[in-house]
Structure 1
Amino acid sequence: MKLVSWNVNGLRACVRKGFLEYFSHINADIFSVQEIKLHAGQLDLDLDAYESYWNYADKKGYSGTAVFTKKTPLSVQYGLNEENNHSEGRIITLEFAEFFLVNIYSPNAQRDLARLEKRLQWEEDLFSHIHMLDSRKPVILCGDLNVAHQHIDIRNAKANEGNSGFTIQERTKLTRLLESGFVDTLRYFHPETEGLYTWWSYMKTVRERNIGWRIDYFIVSERLTSKLQAAHIDAKIMGSDHCPIGLDINL
């Protein structure tokens, strides 16, 4: 099974920049996207053989997630729970016979860390959600987590310590998740490879010089590790300030 995840930073804009060509070429079984920045009826996508599931943000032109799947899910959940449904459209959970797929777009703590408290609450809610699912069947979590986990995951680590996306609080939350029975699939296959980034600033020549961050992930329940086949980053694919990431798994 081939899974792909991509923060498209505006799906309509990404479609104009080659999204459909990449989508057709990669031929994923499940393709998850984040930061779609649209509402129902604003984009007509002709994706043969795929079912589409959308979680739009209430605010126009902001956030949102979607999943395109060849395999019909047993159930679909939008948001985390009844009390904390997240009006920003940041999460979709699809249940399949063998696993849960959770597609997320984690909130950014913002440059001045004004949303850090909200971000940390999101992490608590997500942790509970993932473990509730994992108690029933294995979980595949994908998306833009908006955090570079270790120094190897960011080009200028020392200069960015304490900045949004590289605070000790955010990084510790991801460490806790991984230590509670989950695996960062890219590091499972490439534990010490440097320069594996998924996001780059739009500033001139930054992407060309690979001055980036790895903030997009496929994370799976530990009991799926024997089924992992490959994890990769398609860093040469343009169309967004993020690049697509992929996971091949034998399910």
Structure 2
Amino acid sequence: MEIKLASWNVNGIRAVAAKPEWQEWFAQDKYDVIGLQETKAEKEQIPEAIVNKEGYESFFASSKVKKGYSGTAVFSRIKPLSVEIELPDPEFQGEGRIVHLEFEKFHFFNGYFPNGGAEVLDENGKPIKGEFKRVPYKMGFFDSFFKYAQELRKSKPIVVCGDFNIAHHEIDLARPKTNKNTTGFLQIERDFLDMFTSAGYVDTFRHIKGNEEGHYSWWSYKMQARAKNVGWRIDYFFVSDELKDCIKDASIEKDVFGSDHCPVNLTLEL
């Protein structure tokens, strides 16, 4: 059985819904499961045509602590056995960052993982090099997610997609040397992905593409970064090692516009 999955940080689902690029992409029915991140909306605020995409069930997590912030959604043609919104740990609930579907063959997580936030300022109001306000929360969130995924993995494999807000290796961003002290490429953040992959989670894109350079999924809106391909690969599909031999294809849809991110996808042969 072939299953096709897609993931896209849409940077505001209400804004992207008006864009032809999004409309064309979302109208496709080639994906069995679609994960969206940074939806920035309550379900009731999202156009009905999106919520009720023909042939799909939809599931939404929205931020309760701050309106118009964060948020995730999943659209699935495969009926899940169960659905869970947010992580079990109350400390990391409220921002609508996780939608978890249990399917017959695997657990599926769609995540919009936290970014590091604004820089920490010293007593003179100047940024402290390499220190960011939300990095401790971000790393705690990752730790909570990892522990939960490992517990669920005892019963069946894990598939996780989404915006991880981390570029793992130097090959995963255009300008690594100038971003050593930028959140998203801090060593503590990269160390998590080192640990994650060492624990048996496969970066499906690298599994297929190897060390090909120039592949990114996010570009700043500034300085014509996308046109120049000065980007970061921070959107991923990981699968636990039990599914490694099921990875048929993984790619980045760099020519799909509408957001500062582009979709990434995965095909599994189960």
Q: When the two structures are superposed, what TM-score results if normalisation uses the length of structure 1?
A: 0.97
Q: The residue matched to 1:224 in structure 2 has which SS?
A: helix
1:202-217 pair list within 5 angstroms: 202-217=221-236
SS in 1 for 2:136: helix
Q: Partner residue of 1:240?
A: 259
Corresponding position of 1:31? 34
Separation in structure 2 between the aligned mates of residue 54 and residue 3 of structure 1, nearest angstrom: 17
Aligned to 1:51: 57
Residue identity matched to 1:63: S
Higher gyration radius (CA): 2
Contact 1:233 1:246 in 2 (8 A): yes
SS in 1 for 2:96: coil
User: Are 2:245 and 1:220 aligned?
Assistant: no
- What residue ranges of structure 2 are gaps of 5+ in the alignment? 120-131
Q: Secondary structure at the match of 1:52?
A: strand
The C-alpha deviation readout for 1:158-183, integer Å capped at 9, x for no partner, is: 00002110000000011101100110
Could you tell me how far apart the structure 1 residues matched to 2:23 and 2:44 are?
18
Deviation string 1:118-172 (CA, Å, 9 cap, x unpaired) is 1111111011011011111000000000000000000000000021100000000
Aligned equivalent of 1:9, options 11, 21, 32? 11
Q: What amino acid does structure 2 have at the position aligned with 1:6? A: W
Separation in 2, partners of 1:45, 1:138? 33
Structure 1 stretch 72-81 or stretch 212-221: which is displaced more? 72-81
Q: Which runs of 5+ in 1 are unaligned?
A: none
Select the residue among 41, 45, 49 that pairs with 1:42: 45
Matched-pair contact (CA < 8 Å) for 1:78–1:85? no
- State the identity as a percent: 41
Match in the other structure for 1:142: 161
Are residue 116 (structure 1) and residue 111 (structure 2) matched? no
Deviation per CA, 1:34-59: give whole Å up to 9, x if none: 00000121122321000000001012
What is the aligned partner in structure 2 of residue 194 from structure 1? 213
Aligned counterpart in structure 1 of residue 106 of structure 2, from 71, 96, 99: 99
Q: Detail structure 1 runs of 4+ shifted over 4 Å in the superposition.
A: none
Partner Cα distance (1:40, 1:235) in 2: 28
C-alpha contact (below 8 Å) 2:14/2:47 kept by paired residues: no
Amino acid at match of 2:141: W
The whole-number CA distance in structure 2 between the counterparts of 1:20 and 1:152 is 32
Task: State how far apart, in whole Å, the 1-side matches of 2:114 and 2:92 are.
Answer: 14
Give the residue type in structure 1 aligned to 2:35. S
* Aligned counterparts, 1:146-157, within 5 A: 146-157=165-176
Partner deviation per Cα, 1:44-75 (whole Å, 9 max, x = no partner): 23210000000010121110000000011000
Give the AA of the match of 2:164.
L
Residue equivalent to 1:19: 22
Give how far 1:13 is off: 1.0
**Paired residues of 1:144 and 1:216 also in contact (CA < 8 A):** yes
User: What is the distance in 1 between the residues matched to 2:265 and 2:118?
Assistant: 29
SS in 2 for 1:195: coil
The 1-side partners of 2:118 and 2:203 are apart by 26
Distance 1:82 1:176, change over 3 A: closer
In the other structure, the counterpart of 1:71 is 78
Measure, in 2, the Cα distance between the counterparts of 1:137 and 1:190.
Answer: 26
Report SS of the residue matched to 1:148.
Answer: coil
Partner AA of 1:191 in structure 2: G
Report the CA distance shift for 1:41/1:150 in structure 2 as closer, same or farther (over 3 A). same
**TM, length-normalised to structure 2:** 0.91
Instruction: Count the aligned residue pairs.
Output: 251
SS at match of 2:152: helix
